[in-house]
A and B are shown apart, each in its own frame.
Chain A
Amino acid sequence: MTIYKTSTGVILEILRIPRSLIDAYAHNNPTPEPPTIEVPGFGGVPNQVENLEDQTYLAQLNLYNLTMAQLEFDLVVQAVNILDPDWKTDLRVADMISIGIPIDSTHEYLRYIALTDAVDLGNVTEEFLYLSTVTDRGIKEAEQAFGIEWQGAPLRKHSNPPGRLRAASVYQSRVAATSLGYTWEQFCELPGPDQSAAVAQYQATCKVEYLASEERKT
């Protein structure tokens, strides 16, 4: 749990939310695909390339980004408690009501009064993600805590094994979870920093094995 004061003077308590909500947010809303167009390639062979300037695609992308922003805000609302002030007595609520914006729930209060600054929203989002799921920040913190060095340099400074496999980060989390003896459900119950530490442990173990195998080759 983290206490955060917004630039609008509202004190929020940021909590973790179930990881499944974040995964659903990320995976249930696929990014729109750009259309392809045929362009003449080398030697006259036609090539199919993505048309990133297509107006319909740009409109879909814009709508997608805004829809995701709305959904993200719904997640934020679930992750915060308003500690101070009591939102029902905040004078700014009366202001909003008098210009036709009804503030009748914490959702509306956060949207129109407490979290109107993009920097605040970004900070709150980063924090609840850190508390709820695997994040780069959590992984870096765990790596620092592990203090693993290889040939006198931190592990992060060594190059990663060349990989041809591409997968979503949830796959790596699942592999990390099962390789450390957790069921996926148990893993999802862990606080975000613990999930990140598990992934960091898995990554570090893989990397050390790779570096050792490279050393044996030479």
Chain B
Amino acid sequence: MQIIKREPQQITVVTANGTELVCVPVRTLPIQDLMFKIGLPSRITDSANATEISEALQRGSSAQQMDAIKASMALFNYCMAYGVTTNPPEEAVEELKSLGLAPRTLPALRATWLNYMVLEDTEEASLLAGIVMGVTKTSNEQAKEQAKPTPVKPE
């Protein structure tokens, strides 16, 4: 996956299979909760890293590992559904429908398309999630910066 354009509020990438995707910030609070459930709280605002996520998934009991895996799937899907604004082309939607995999809503359709037809493996999925979280972090930092009061010089 390659970043081809970086703007303050969005990043454009090209995946290994040549699909161009526009990534935008997502809401921070669901991401925080999911990262917490995975067991990666110290890296919540940083970009995801496949090795760290897989290490975190291996910790704990089987039940905890299952919960963590569910949370990591949900995290990737959340980033793909709401952090990617590129919609699947018509033919891809038709193909997903023929496979019985086309959800009715657009966010879920985007996540399904990316999972089944665009992204090569977990590594690429985690890279994409990382890029979405990265642009979210940058956007939040800019919002905080803009919210700071401008110092007024005395006349």
Contacts and interface: CB of A to CB of B under 8 A. Distances in A.
Nearest to A65: B41
A49 interface: no
A57 to B, nearest CB: 12
A100 B70 contact: yes
Contacts, number: 61
Given A94-B104, A95-B107, A99-B74, A67 B29 contact: no
Chain A binding surface SS class: helix
A101 B29 contact: no
A100 B74 contact: yes
Interface residues of A, number: 22
B77 interface: yes
Interface residues of B, number: 25
B107 A99 contact: yes
Contact of B78 (A69, A70, A94, A101): A101
7 contacts: A70-B36, A98-B104, A99-B77, A99-B81, A100-B70, A100-B73, A111-B30
A91 B105 contact: yes
Interface string B9-44: 000000000000000000111101110100001101
B84 interface: no
A67 B39 CA distance: 11
